[in-house]
Structure 1
Amino acid sequence: MSLAIHILACVFGTGSWVAINGLWVELPLIVNVLPEGWDLPSYLTVIIQLANVGPLFVTLMHKFAPGKMKEIVAIYVIISIGILASLLMVFFWKGTTLLVGTPHSTAFLTLTFFLSLVDCTSSVTFLPFMMRLPTKYMTTYFIGEGLSGFIPGLVALGQGSGMIKCVNASKPVNVTTGNFTEGAIVHQIETHYLSANFSTETFLAFLTVMMIFCLLAFIFLTRVPHKMLHEVQVSNEVLHVSTTELELNKYIPEQPTDTQSFSLHDPRKAMDKAKLAAETQSVLVSTFSKYSKQQLLFIYLLVVWVNSLTNGFLPSVQTYSCLPYGNLAYHLSAALGSMANPGACIIALFVPKRSLLLLGFLSLVGTVFGAYNMAMAALSPCPLLQHSEVGAILIVLSWILFSGTLSYVKVMIGVIFRDESHSALVWCGAAVQLGSMIGALSMFPLVNVYDIFTAGDSCNMNCPL
């Protein structure tokens, strides 16, 4: 039964971000069809941030009307919206309409908003729902969340999304010398995308099936025998309380050993002592199971910072940092980086460390790797060690370690808040979305307005050796 719940929690977790992650990895094929072309990623960035209206609404409902927020009903609604939007995307993603005389992919962008609404809102609904299950299943949920990016990435690789070949092309040009103009043939290397092994519609249908599996997993999780979960949670609570037993003995008044004197000579005093003991135990257990306000503030800031890096700052520049090293380096960094996420979650399952000092250190290490990735993106199309295999190996390793270290931090923070309270998980989800929004909106003008980053072309590397 425990293994079955682990599988269900994992499948449930894959539905959290599978739709948007799937669209991102399919972009190399989508942009060749839709009129926005490679401006489409900038549109997606804005749409995803607009979808944060969903988690904002849920968070405010938890704050000001907690009794009216039906969590299970909300999850059913958002997963159903995700399934419907994914299904409609299969048939209408190519649809365009004229706006101000210019064709725009209104169907694709509208359905993307609803998919973003589902994925963003999952941060403040899926996580609090996991509060109903024992702590060990929280880590499994995060493994599924990591797989929500890894699985579509593998399918896209099998599809051949983004695979290119370098073609020697000839193009006629006019050359003017003085008063004379004559034709000439210019030879140059062009980048051509290879034909996909299966259609975009098939890929979108696959995303729809994954959302359906998420719904089925959620249905089964809501029907897990309450008695079994209660027994596990009680045993965990007893184990936790036993760690404070020595401290309790310091404060609980000594009980009389004479049963007769306890019950007959001074019954009121005995009742007061029992009441004091119960109150003392409650206060001490609360004290030992909670973090201080300063520690909680540090953890929430850590959530915002880590998610701003992993969901905002760095994804916007991955192509700029990797493509100058070649197409293979780019695909390896994307695939292995996605694999590092669930890998870190599995490590957290067997080696859970809640030390705030360790989590802060790992966040610093992940930030250093992220800074290296950002620096190589800023130097594109001529980053360091571009013509060396060492450079390609370093950029791939940097992306793997960046994703792995920060994924471990996110998992352990989720476990910490799971043991804190239901509201702590809700605010954790809100902090996740806040960090993601800060990162994405900060990078949008840098990438799409000021053109700070220049894309590298693996077929035309005209950089000095």
Structure 2
Amino acid sequence: MQAITMALKVHVLAAVFGMGSWIAINGLWVELPLIVPEIPEGWYLPSYLTIIIQLANVGPLFVTLMHKFCPRKLDESAVIYAIVCLGIVACFLLPFFWKVTSTFAGALHSTVLLVLAFFLSLVDCTSSVTFLPFMTRLQPKFLTSYFIGEGLSGLVPGLVALGQGVGVVSCVNMTINTTGSVPSNSTGGDSYSIVALYQPANFPPKVFFFFLSGMMSLCLMAFILLNYLPESHHQRATSNYVKQTEAANGGADLSTVEVAEMRPMISPSDGQQEARVKTIFRTGRYSPSEMVLIFLVLAWVNALTNAVLPSVQTYSCLPYGYLAYHLSAALGAMANPLACFVAMFYPNR
């Protein structure tokens, strides 16, 4: 019973730790419908954010180059401490400065918001190449909890944003005096215009950003406990597993690695496909044409998911108003973790 309780604590900590991987940027995306009406960039903001997120990939590039040219010189724990603390500070500054504007290149921009968005993107992009290597120090069963937490990084902000709402929009006739000499109750020099009045949401973006800061703080606490909690030390991976993982990552013969998970998914009647899969697992190599196809598919899917679709989301939702944009942003952030949840029960290779 005590062993089960210890393992359960580590599972929960791994999930909370994984939740901090992408919760900052996912939270910023679902909050865009409430930010867009109040900043100079307006509907262009998603396009700005898409470019900023791509620029933030310098973080993973730096970590990858360090592992390539200076192996064993980079301490993942130190990097994780740095990026998570950076994420906490950036999220904490957002409530106070997201409306601050300044003139840049002859136009008014939300400079502080864009700079903080870059730091948040740097945190989340770098987490992809640092959190997972740290998790390999624990037993393999805790990776599932980590990935569940990573999925929750999109689901939780989406649910909070749905509870926040986007406010009620009402259209009213406004009277505009064009002459300045006719009383306001007269129609002599008045013109009329229909104006949209936006009622406030259930709570403002300021509260939502504080929520993101709190979630990043929970991620830091979970990481500290995974490092120093006695229950976590009892769930460390065995030396044999670590050596096997390092050998696999180093390009060693993968025929010794157990791949039973894949076997039931291969049709017994398809002898050629089964032989090809066995060859891939034995040699760890794909043919040049297979490699080209795999990378083309990856490039196409990632371009759509991380660049094309988010940048045009505002324009596709513009004719339907802020409510449609709010729902599409919140539900879109929830779609990925829900799809991953289904894939856990219906795997398909």
The TM-score range, normalised by the shorter chain, is 0.7 to 0.9
Q: Distance in 1 between matches of 2:157 and 2:73?
A: 36
| 1:292 equivalent among 252, 276, 285 | 285
Cα drift, residue 194 of structure 1: 2.2
Alpha-carbon displacement from aligned partner over 1:121-172 (angstroms, at most 9, x marks no partner): 1122223333334444334333322322222222223222x34424143465
Contact 1:87 1:208 in 2 (8 A): yes
**Which residue of 2 is the match for residue 151 of structure 1?**
156
| 2:53 equivalent among 45, 48, 53 | 48
Instruction: Report matched runs for 1:99-248 at 5 Å.
Output: 99=104, 102-160=107-165, 162-170=166-174, 185-186=191-192, 188=194, 190-223=195-228, 224-225=232-233, 229-230=237-238, 233=241
Count of residue pairs the alignment pairs up: 303
TM-score for both structures, normalised by structure 1 = 0.56
Instruction: Report matched runs for 1:33-44 at 5 Å.
Output: 33-44=38-49
Alpha-carbon displacement from aligned partner over 1:272-322 (angstroms, at most 9, x marks no partner): xxxxxxxxxxxxx99746642335665554443322222222222334445
Distance 1:324 1:124, change over 3 A: same
**Which residue of 2 is the match for residue 425 of structure 1?**
none
Q: Distance in 1 between matches of 2:126 and 2:216?
A: 15
Contact 1:75 1:125 in 2 (8 A): yes
Contact 1:140 1:349 in 2 (8 A): no
**Which segments of 5 or more consecutive residues in structure 2 lack a partner in the other structure?**
1-5, 179-187, 246-255, 261-277
Q: Tell me if 1:14 matches 2:30.
A: no
Contact 2:30 2:326 in 1 (8 A): no
Identity, % of aligned pairs?
A: 57
Distance 1:46 1:74, change over 3 A: same
Q: Distance in 2 between matches of 1:298 and 1:222?
A: 40
Higher mean alpha-carbon deviation, 319-328 vs 149-158, is at: 319-328
Distance 1:82 1:309, change over 3 A: same
Distance 1:150 1:241, change over 3 A: closer
Distance 1:329 1:32, change over 3 A: closer
**Which residue of 2 is the match for residue 84 of structure 1?**
89
Distance 1:308 1:134, change over 3 A: farther
AA of the residue aligned to 1:348: A
AA of the residue aligned to 1:92: F
Alpha-carbon displacement from aligned partner over 1:228-247 (angstroms, at most 9, x marks no partner): 5329959x99x95597xxxx
- CA RMSD across the alignment: 3.5
AA of the residue aligned to 2:77: I
Q: Distance in 1 between matches of 2:88 and 2:14?
A: 18
Contact 2:43 2:315 in 1 (8 A): no
AA of the residue aligned to 2:98: W
Cα drift, residue 195 of structure 1: 0.8
- Ranked by relative contact order (alpha carbons within 8 Å, sequence separation 6 or more), the top structure is 2
**Which segments of 5 or more consecutive residues in structure 1 lack a partner in the other structure?**
175-181, 244-284, 356-465
Instruction: Report matched runs for 1:277-426 at 5 Å.
Output: 288=281, 291-294=284-287, 298-322=293-317, 324=319, 330-353=325-348, 355=349
Alpha-carbon displacement from aligned partner over 1:79-120 (angstroms, at most 9, x marks no partner): 111111212223333333344665433222222221111111
Contact 1:36 1:104 in 2 (8 A): yes
Distance 1:232 1:303, change over 3 A: farther
2:136 partner SS:
helix
1:68 partner SS:
coil
Higher mean alpha-carbon deviation, 136-145 vs 84-93, is at: 136-145
Q: Distance in 2 between matches of 1:302 and 1:3?
A: 38
Q: Distance in 1 between matches of 2:297 and 2:347?
A: 18
